[in-house]
Structure 1
Amino acid sequence: MKQRLVFPRQKVGLICVGKSARCSGFQSCSNWGAISRPQILLHSFLLFNFLLSPIAAGAVDITQQLHLPLNSSVGRESRDEADSLLSIGEQQYTSGSADKTIASCLRALELYHSIGDLKAQGLTYNLLAKAYIQLGSSKEAEDALRRGLAIARDTKDLQAQIFVLNNIGTFFLLRGESAAAGKTVEDALAIAHGVKNIEGEGLSLSNLGLVSARLGDYNKAIKLYENALTFRRQTGDAIGEANTLNNLGDAYLASGNYQDTIATYGEAMQTAKNNRDRTNELRAIDGLVTAHTAVGRYERAFDLLEQRLALAKELQNLREELKSFESYAQVYKQQGNYVTARNFYERAIILARTLEDSKQEVQLQDQLTKMLQKK
């Protein structure tokens, strides 16, 4: 085994969208209930899936979606400022600054409201919901999703409905509401199939796979993911393809099929890397580390963790660096190398303090304490 560098210490009822959304068939939900987890990794990957879902149907350049001709110079100025704020919010969200994303989105909403652009408001509410989810603010996220769906229905925007319903479905999964999630995503799939929206069909099938996985039916989940891949490849949606490949890898991992797990995560990692899709690339690496560690391939796990840490540093993303240090610690702990594991836990704790994430700091400290007690 080659020498490893030891660093110095240093997410049951459906959401009611109100009268304006014509919410027949939807029930209010005041009690989301506790999250049950049949498989530890699934909850984290559900969160990834929610955060990766598109802002709106066919979203590539958000400014292209928002462009509407305005007659007055004041209106154009407001439009330009709002578009800029939303673009900045996207960048802030991608870099992990959810609090800054929220501030940008709220200001953009004021401007879009002043010029009466409902479509742009709907896009902004969707990004706002993701930022709230990233911060763990469920009530605010629910409200943003509810408003986004209301706008999509009021404007009879079927494409937007497909994607907002999928976001709501994934949100229900995060809250442990599998039955509600399945019904919501099935509604989205029906709309997508009716209007022949291939992108929407791929996303909906992938999310139905998540529902099946959440219920522990991994064979059904695998079939749904494979079907979803067919649609996602038809549209050339590389990010969607990598996300579904990661979902498929999750299902293989949960079912103990390590050979197909490693092959699928490997394909996801390469697809993401080729398209500079860093979020899916990191997720695929995490899956590969888990799979290789489970079968005792520590050398390969450490190689992957080196790649992960280098990527986090390249992105200048402290939270991903923290996750890398935590993963290092967990693998070394599994090996029985408690001294090195402690070093990495302490590195992760320092970053948690830097990020002012007291919850993460407490969790890491607890892991470290429990490990030391077992020595």
Structure 2
Amino acid sequence: MQQRHLFPKHHVLDSASTFNSKSYGFWLFKGVTTWRRVDPSQLFTFYFLLFTFVLSPIAANASDITQQLHRPLSNSSWRYSRDEADSLLRVGQQQYRSGNAAKTIDSCLQALEIYHSVGDVQATGLTYELLAKAYIQQDRFKEGEDALRRRLAIARDTKDFQSQIFTLNNIAAILLQDGETVAAGRTVQEALKIAQGINSIEGQGLSLSNLGLVAARLGNYNQAIKLYETALTYRRQKGDLIGEANTLNNLGDAYLAAKNYPDTISAYGLAMRMAKMNGDSTIQLRAIDGLVKAHSSVGRNERAFELLQERLILAQELQNLPEQLKSFVSYAELYEQLGNYPTAKNFYERAIAIAHTLDDSQRELALKDRLTKLQKKQN
């Protein structure tokens, strides 16, 4: 299963799902439009898009859920209802991929009602999985957490160990977001134990990579680096190129926090090349952001600007306004760092314009505040 990750500059919990036997990684926060300056001590602030869940058992356990499912009234009505639910679930997938979380939620809730009535536990679990992703995309974390707890309970009840591994890994994202780093570590350890028990190479690589994130969050960079390197052996053994690239980005983050710039550049550079080969623009963007920070830290500003140009072109090709906004902010920060205030001002203004277009008033105000501070430096 491939892992997809969207946000550079920060450690991101590796995540996966088993929806339709594919992986749809996602982040909890729309970090592409968050414009706080991040110092090394804050490097491991997490942006979690796209798939995260909770460890502790849900209020209604899997057996309770199963008992709540109704028996079908007849074979014909069951078939009609089941086909309708399957159709709703397919539509929900399409709606989610197109970014329409609200409609995804509506489709999932309707499908769940039918799946409950016909007693299809497996389909119910998959629907909860998609529902959780849609809730999280809307920043409705409590509702997403509830759906994910139910998904985990069903996976446990049906002894779906692979789903348990991925769900437990995703659980840690919410725990880390809440600052519960130790609990997140225990959650990933449980996933690793299951992965080892069923000899899941993919699950071990995923879990070890996420344990590296937990170690990094605690400031144990050397331990994090060792865990990442071990994770890479499993991901390469599995042939998980996207997972490998994501772990390389995390490794780059750890080296960067430890101020080991040569190894930082090496890790990010390999991640960027792999992302290009596999057509994964999100991992590529994240690697570029790490490389920009590393090169600018050692005074290689010309290379940093080359990378920023590459980043902006990619964001424009994707027609991704939030990523274009982020590119402009990165340009502005670098020019400001170099004391070129007029050019920095120009890029801040371009970023503000995009924030306005996106109707993101909070970020627009934050950028205007930074522009005001910049103008004071000019005077």
TM-score interval, normalised by the smaller of the two chains: 0.7 to 0.9
1:278-321 alpha-carbon deviations (Å, 9 max, x no partner)? 11111111111111111121111111111111111111111111
Write out aligned runs for 1:29-40 (5 A).
39-40=41-42
1:52-63 pair list within 5 angstroms: none
Q: Partners of 1:189 and 1:349 in 2: how far apart?
A: 44
1:160 maps to what in 2?
163
Q: Would you say the 8 A contact 2:328–2:351 is kept in 1?
A: yes
Shift of 1:159: 1.1
CA gap 1:78/1:294 in 2 versus in 1, 3 angstroms? same
**Cα distance between partner residues in 1 of 2:286 and 2:112:** 32
Deviation at 1:122, TM superposition (A): 2.8
User: What is the CA–CA distance in structure 1 between the aligned matches of 2:267 and 2:294, rounded to whole Å?
Assistant: 11
Instruction: Report what 1:16 is aligned to.
Output: none
CA distance in 1, matches of 2:173, 2:193: 17
* Residue matched to 2:238: 235
1:88 alignment counterpart: 94
Match of 1:169 in 2: 172
What residue is the counterpart of 1:264 in the other structure? Answer: 267
Candidates 219, 223, 226, aligned match of 2:226: 223
1:149-208 Cα deviation digits (max 9, x unpaired) = 122222221111111111111221122110100001101110111011111111110110
Partner of 1:20: none
Distance 1:196 1:242, change over 3 A: same
Q: Say what the alpha-carbon RMSD is for the aligned residues.
A: 2.6
| Displacement of 1:39 | 2.8
Map of 1:51 onto structure 2: 50
Give the drift of 1:141: 2.8
Aligned-pair CA distance for 1:107:
4.6
Question: Is the 2:51–2:133 Cα contact (8 Å) retained in structure 1?
Answer: no
Q: How does 1:1-375 map to 2 (within 5 A)?
A: 39-43=41-45, 46-48=46-48, 51=50, 73-75=79-81, 77-93=83-99, 98-99=101-102, 101-375=104-378
Number of residue-to-residue matches in the alignment? 320
Secondary structure in structure 2 of the residue aligned to 1:42 = coil
Distance 1:75 1:100 in 2: 20
* 2:72 match: none
Contact 1:228/1:244 (<8 A) preserved: yes
Give 1:369 deviation, angstroms.
Answer: 2.0
Task: Call closer, same or farther: CA 1:346–1:129 in 2, change over 3 Å.
Answer: farther
Contact 2:325–2:355 (CA under 8 A) maintained in structure 1: yes
Q: Separation in 1 of the partners of 2:102 and 2:375?
A: 35
Q: TM-score, normalised by structure 1?
A: 0.78
- In structure 2, do the counterparts of structure 1 residues 217 and 275 end up closer, same or farther at CA, with 3 Å as the change threshold? same
Describe the superposition over 1:58-84 as per-residue Cα deviations: whole angstroms up to 9, x where unpaired. Answer: xxxxxxxxxxxx975524532441342
Letter in 2 for 1:263: S
> Displacement of 1:357 after TM fit?
1.8
- Structure 2 counterpart of 1:47, one-letter code: Y
**Contact 1:322-1:351 within 8 A present in 2 as well:** yes
Amino acid in the other structure paired with 1:239: I
* Residue type at the aligned position of 1:228: A
Moved more, 107-116 or 347-356: 107-116
Distance 1:305 1:130, change over 3 A: farther
Q: 1:170, 1:207 within 8 Å by CA — same for their partners in 2?
A: no
Note the C-alpha offset of 1:262.
0.5
The letter for the 1-side match of 2:92 is L
Q: CA deviation at 1:125?
A: 3.1
- Structure 1 residue runs without a partner (length 5+): 1-10, 12-35, 55-69
Taking the aligned partners of 1:37 and 1:182, their CA distance within structure 2 comes to: 24
- Cα pair distance change 1:162/1:130, threshold 3 Å: same
What residue in structure 2 maps to residue 33 of structure 1?
none
Q: Deviations over 1:60-117 (max 9, x none)?
A: xxxxxxxxxx975524532441342233144134xxx555554554455445445443
Moved more, 346-355 or 272-281: 346-355
Q: Compute the displacement of 1:40 (Å).
A: 2.7
Higher RCO (Cα < 8 Å, 6 or more apart):
2
Contact 1:82 1:111 in 2 (8 A): no
Measure the CA separation in 1 of the matches of 2:201 and 2:288.
28
Q: Which amino acid aligns with 1:88?
A: Q
Shift of 1:38: 6.4
